[in-house]
Amino acid sequence: MATPFRAIPAIPSGNEYYNAKAKELNERMEAQIPAGLRLSKDILDSLPVNVMQIPETCGLLSENELAITELDATALCAKIAKGELTAVETVTAYGKRAAIAHQLVHCLVDFFLEDGLARAKELDQYFAREGKVVGPLHGLPVSIKEQTPVKGKLGSAGFLSTVEFSAEDSLMVKILRDLVFYVKTNQPQSIMHLESVSFHGRSLNPYNTNLTCGGSSGGEAALLAMKGSPIGVGNDGGGSIRDPCAKCGLWGLRPTSLTMPQGDYYHYEMGNDGIIPSTGPMCRSARDINFFISAVRSTKPHLVEPLLIPLPWSIPDKLERKLRVGIMMNDGEVVPQPPMMRALKLAKSKLEASGEVEVLEYIPYQHKAGYDIIRELYFEDGGATVRRVLEEGGEDILPLTEWVISPPHTRDHTISEAWDLRYRRDKYRQAYSDYWNASDCDVVLCPPFPGTACPHDMARYWGYTAIWNLLDYPGVVFPSGIKLDPRVDVAYESNQPLSEPDKYFRDFYDAEYMVGAPVNLQLVSRRFNDCMLMAAQKIVEKIILS
Amino acid sequence: MATPFRAIPAIPSGNEYYNAKAKELNERMEAQIPAGLRLSKDILDSLPVNVMQIPETCGLLSENELAITELDATALCAKIAKGELTAVETVTAYGKRAAIAHQLVHCLVDFFLEDGLARAKELDQYFAREGKVVGPLHGLPVSIKEQTPVKGKLGSAGFLSTVEFSAEDSLMVKILRDLVFYVKTNQPQSIMHLESVSFHGRSLNPYNTNLTCGGSSGGEAALLAMKGSPIGVGNDGGGSIRDPCAKCGLWGLRPTSLTMPQGDYYHYEMGNDGIIPSTGPMCRSARDINFFISAVRSTKPHLVEPLLIPLPWSIPDKLERKLRVGIMMNDGEVVPQPPMMRALKLAKSKLEASGEVEVLEYIPYQHKAGYDIIRELYFEDGGATVRRVLEEGGEDILPLTEWVISPPHTRDHTISEAWDLRYRRDKYRQAYSDYWNASDCDVVLCPPFPGTACPHDMARYWGYTAIWNLLDYPGVVFPSGIKLDPRVDVAYESNQPLSEPDKYFRDFYDAEYMVGAPVNLQLVSRRFNDCMLMAAQKIVEKIILS
């Protein structure tokens, strides 16, 4: 493998205005880290590639704080509801750990622990006075992606020209006001990379800082993996929840679109409705997904945001039949790198051995054609808006932005061409639905990406996540139980690339350099089958991790 | 009032190819009417303006056939299920009455009673053999709009160049195969008039043939009003179910979109998804709406057509609170003509007097702005596709087609302009939702049109129906209990037009000419509230018709 990307690339540059503004935002962010939470020069000067242990070893967190930050959201809320933990203790522990995490993986864009503590105090007072919690999420700290407006905090649509202090909470944030906000997290330029590098800087993968934490909700994932947050909110139009969760060893669900609030998030292509992204939780356990979505859905957000669909949320205890799991070893376009292939095979053998599920081979239906359609849909204007918004901020275009808006996938359309494109989308959806029905699978287990986290700026294939966005099939990612191990994840089975992108992934694969990257899997089901999917995920996870 | 439109305009013309083809289709249709079902020259030469009684007086139907055709779908199916009526008897009666109706109001485009009888015979044999029906709709005749493909029968997208014998059943028709098909019904050029005149000819209002039967599902409505069908299937993107039902004194629901199958209907703007139409039943009773939708939804069409939303269908017996009915006397743009105003006031006073509901005044929220948005959305290409498809068939453009695609409402858009338009749509939806919530109405009672059925080619305002399409609010129309009466529906209350369209409606209003037109009302509720809406409609109808 060539070495150029081994050095972590500098943060994006631009003209004088841009450079000054980006510097100011970075300095503001760094100044928000309290002096007492700064990592020592000794630690920072000799960072290992894997920084996961530093919060425990740096000496800045008490044993109690470390114990609190080990808990998932469900456990935290249970303890708070029983009075075993206060909201102030909880947010203090997470706030401190988030500050440490940021110094290691550059995951934050705004830090406001004081606000969080003030809110936590109110909640503790309520609990002391009333003897009960305000709601199921009482006192839980939650991290929020920059794209999601939190009143008075930094928000943007992924370009410097769009950054502002938000005038209002988004509906999602209003719903979550029982929780405690304390950070906003980083996302990439354009919010359209499986990587997270922006005018705020570059977020890193804590398991191996040579690697990306994924994107676009990558700041979230890096923070969650460092246990600087128990739960976060991401938004996924091509993989933006699932990709970073997968690359950082987390759990994340992209629900069927328009079932969770997101109408007032930052966007630069307002009104582009060819592909609708979807908001969902990024978590440290599968049960936290249910915990979070149940709480949000119970507020009936569709009564406030009229584009939302009032689909009930209730995960069944028992499935209607023995679960039928299709396994897709590759998408016909890019063969997964060795650690992903190992995880798939291990999962397959465990599922087969369990006797608890039916295992089928799932052959993908024309995924390349679908991927071509969604890439064309993202920027029906040929990327003109992206270039304009960059220009307005004096911001240089990043390589992954250039890639994602480049021909042949991206081109300007007339109305008639745009209608034709959307018609092709709908015909593909219909053909896929027919195919899926004929396959008789309940869920499909597949890679979320053609490998683990890759080195920075290399994530030039979205097919494993974006295809399900095109279909609007819900997808959940979760750890496979293994990490990239250079001793075993040595080589591809065959030397025959399926395509140019496949060759590209083979060429940069380097087990030594990518050591320790978590390997996650993805489970998908048909549209609106979110609850069945989560029931199936529980079964599959239990078997795979057993 | 000026007189030019008193003569029913000729059917649309075109070039030599078009004229020959239209003539061929018309002759084919006329030849399908069996000799024994032809109305006598005497009758045809002295037709009254109101032709509603002719099926009873023409002597072509037996007493039993007349009795069968008096029943609504629910009653028919109950009798068939009890063995009191056979499918053959039922479809015979309806087929005969449909043939008679066609000669009076020109509602059909294809007639295949023999197919219907063959299917009815199969169903009767099944019933005789098994002692039960195949499903809740067993043996019910159903009329189908031309736009909805029925295998082997004529279908089109509203232009001669698109007419064909359909290669396959649409999903809706597949689902309805327990029913008996025997006719396809007329729709207007472009399927975008509140009128039904096409290369098949012009459909008339049976209550007053000087008037339109409405559109675009106008052939359905004319046939149903004549009791030539117990139930029909329409499709509504701007009023196309509600308008003809209202103009012909019927019941019709436009459900929330994407809850009923329609993905494979004929369209000429394939992929234009700025406004999604919605399929629903056109009926002769409110209960038939529930009867039909329950049956269709129970087949889980969303598993076959992936764009559909799996919303449960169950009309509540009891509402959560005393029903709050907002009454909208006008939309701020066009004041209803005198009979519609009389119906609204009568309804208001009865609802107030009943004590069963809370009556509120509903002031519309910027309906003109919304109407401007939806008109712009219909033809984002400036009508270029319409002109191309007309050209391909050598078909002259009709005045109402010209009107609907004309500037300033219609113009070509760049992608960026189209995104902006869709963003304005979504912002309007959000603002309306906020306004609706603040109004605290459960349902709004309003006109479905600024009057009763109007003279032919005059329906140049869609605001009362299309606004709810823009919002995707379900709407049901139903008879108010009154008809236009020149003795009382004499004059407007004030002489101050609100707008140009208002002046237009005042100018052509002529109580003598429009005598006998049924006056329907419309009830709407917020998106996805279809079941509550139908529960509310039952309450409101009971009070209004009491």
> How far, in whole angstroms, is CA B405 from its chain's centroid?
21
* Rounded Cα distance, A281 and A287, in Å: 11
Query: Residue with structure tokens 């350099």?
Result: A513
- Residue B168: half-sphere exposure toward Cβ, Cα within 13 Å: 8
User: Which residues in chain A touch residue B384, judged by CB atoms under 8 angstroms apart?
Assistant: 416
Q: What is the nearest CA distance from A498 to chain B, expressed in angstroms? A: 30
Query: Residue with structure tokens 């509310």?
Result: B536
**A359: enclosing H helix or E strand:** strand A358-361
| Summary mean pLDDT of chain A | 96
Describe chain A by its helix, strand, coil percentages, rounded to 5: 40, 15, 45
Alpha helices per DSSP H over A405-449: 415-439
pLDDT at residue B243 in the model: 98
**Domain B21-42+49-264+277-299 is classified in which CATH homologous superfamily?**
Amidase signature (AS) domain (3.90.1300.10)
Contact predicate B51/B206, CB 8 Å: yes
Residue A270 to residue B423, Cβ atoms within 8 A = yes
- Asked whether residue B174 carries a pLDDT value surpassing 90, the answer given is yes
- Asked whether residue A1 carries a pLDDT value surpassing 60, the answer given is no
pLDDT at residue B335 in the model: 98
Determine the residue among B307, B381, B416, B441 to mutate to test chain A binding: the one whose Cβ has the most chain A Cβ atoms within 10 Å.
B416
Contact predicate B313/B530, CB 8 Å: yes
CA end-to-end span of chain B: 35
pLDDT at residue B5 in the model: 36
Domain A18-44+53-266+277-301 has CATH 3.40.50.720: no
Mean pLDDT across B162-181: 94
Mean pLDDT across A162-169: 98
* Rounded Cα distance, B18 and B13, in Å: 7
Determine the residue among A415, A436, A527 to mutate to test chain B binding: the one whose Cβ has the most chain B Cβ atoms within 10 Å.
A415
Same fold, A18-44+53-266+277-301 and A324-544: yes
* Rounded Cα distance, A266 and A389, in Å: 13
- Asked whether residue A6 carries a pLDDT value surpassing 50, the answer given is no
Hey, is the C-beta of B420 within 8 angstroms of any chain A C-beta?
Answer: yes
The pair phi, psi for residue B156, each rounded to 5°, is: -160, 165
pLDDT at residue A2 in the model: 34
Q: What is the nearest CA distance from A241 to chain B, expressed in angstroms? A: 23
Handedness of CA A52, A55, A56, A58 (dihedral sign): positive
3-state secondary structure B61-115: CCHHHHHHCCCCHHHHHHHHHCCCCCHHHHHHHHHHHHHHHHHHHCCEEEECHHH
- Asked whether residue B411 carries a pLDDT value surpassing 60, the answer given is yes
Q: Cis peptide leading into A408, omega within 30 of 0?
A: yes
Pick the closest to residue B521 from B451, B463, B442 (CA basis).
Answer: B451
- Asked whether residue B124 carries a pLDDT value surpassing 50, the answer given is yes
Per-residue model confidence as pLDDT tens digits over B304-335 = 999 999 999 999 999 999 999 999 999 999 99
Coil vs helix vs strand at A392: helix
Contact predicate B185/B143, CB 8 Å: yes
Mean pLDDT across B459-484: 98
Query: Residue with structure tokens 């056979």?
Result: B86
Alpha helices per DSSP H over B286-441: 286-297, 338-354, 367-378, 384-393, 399-404, 415-439
Residue B9: pLDDT band (50, 70, 90) is low
Residue B8: pLDDT band (50, 70, 90) is low
Mean pLDDT across A420-435: 98
What b/e sequence results for A91-102 when a residue is b if at least 16 CB atoms lie within 10 Å of its CB, and e otherwise?
bbbbbbbbbbbb
> How far, in whole angstroms, is CA B2 from its chain's centroid?
28
Hey, is the C-beta of B267 within 8 angstroms of any chain A C-beta?
Answer: no
Express as a percent the part of chain B with pLDDT over 70.
Answer: 98
Residue B528 to residue A309, Cβ atoms within 8 A = yes
Q: How far is residue A112 from each of residues A30, A143, A172, A211, A220, measured CA to CA in Å?
A: 12, 11, 19, 28, 16
Helix axes A530-544, A338-354, angle to 10 degrees: 90
The matching CATH number, chosen from 3.90.1300.10, 3.40.50.300, 3.30.390.10, 3.40.190.10, for B324-544 is: 3.90.1300.10
Contact predicate B422/A271, CB 8 Å: yes
- Asked whether residue B6 carries a pLDDT value surpassing 90, the answer given is no
- Asked whether residue B3 carries a pLDDT value surpassing 60, the answer given is no
Q: Which two tokens stand for residue B330?
A: 């006008």
Per-residue model confidence as pLDDT tens digits over B220-270 = 999 999 999 999 999 999 999 999 999 999 999 999 999 999 999 999 999
Describe chain B by its helix, strand, coil percentages, rounded to 5: 40, 15, 45
Hey, is the C-beta of B117 within 8 angstroms of any chain A C-beta?
Answer: no
Point out the residues of B that are catalytic. Answer: 145, 216, 240
The pair phi, psi for residue B448, each rounded to 5°, is: -90, -10
Please give the single-letter amino acid code of residue B395: E
* Rounded Cα distance, A217 and A212, in Å: 12
CA angle at residue B472 from B471 to B477, to 5 degrees?
105
Contact predicate A268/A157, CB 8 Å: yes
pLDDT at residue A11 in the model: 72
Q: Where are the domains of chain A?
A: 18-44+53-266+277-301, 324-544
Coil vs helix vs strand at A185: strand
Strands (E) across A208-264 are located at 231-236, 251-254
Number of A–B residue contacts, CB under 8 Å: 107
Is the ipTM here above 0.85?
yes
Residue A178: pLDDT band (50, 70, 90) is confident
Q: Cis peptide leading into A486, omega within 30 of 0?
A: no
- Asked whether residue B2 carries a pLDDT value surpassing 60, the answer given is no
What b/e sequence results for B29-54 when a residue is b if at least 16 CB atoms lie within 10 Å of its CB, and e otherwise?
beebbeeebbbeeebeeeeeebbbeb
* Rounded Cα distance, A150 and A173, in Å: 6
Mean pLDDT across B512-525: 98
What is the pairing mode between strands B278-283 and B231-236?
Answer: antiparallel
Q: What is the nearest CA distance from A54 to chain B, expressed in angstroms? A: 46
- Asked whether residue A342 carries a pLDDT value surpassing 90, the answer given is yes
Express as a percent the part of chain A with pLDDT over 90.
Answer: 96
Per-residue model confidence as pLDDT tens digits over B524-541 = 999 999 999 999 999 999
A359 DSSP β-pair partners: A325
Per-residue model confidence as pLDDT tens digits over A365-424 = 999 999 999 999 999 999 999 999 999 999 999 999 999 999 889 999 999 999 999 999
Point out the residues of A that are catalytic. Answer: 145, 216, 240
Residues written for chain B: 546
Hey, is the C-beta of B3 within 8 angstroms of any chain A C-beta?
Answer: no
Q: Taking a contact as any Cβ pair under 8 Å apart, which residues of chain A between 507 and 546 contact chain B?
A: 526-528
Dihedral through CA A231, CA A237, CA A243, CA A246, nearest 10? 50
Residues written for chain A: 546
Write the residue in B272, B310, B471 that is nearest to A528 by C-beta. B310
Determine the residue among A174, A311, A411, A419 to mutate to test chain B binding: the one whose Cβ has the most chain B Cβ atoms within 10 Å.
A419
Burial class (CB in 10 A: 0-12, 13-18, 19+), A103: buried
Hey, is the C-beta of B437 within 8 angstroms of any chain A C-beta?
Answer: yes
Coil vs helix vs strand at A163: coil
Write the residue in A311, A413, A429 that is nearest to B415 by C-beta. A413
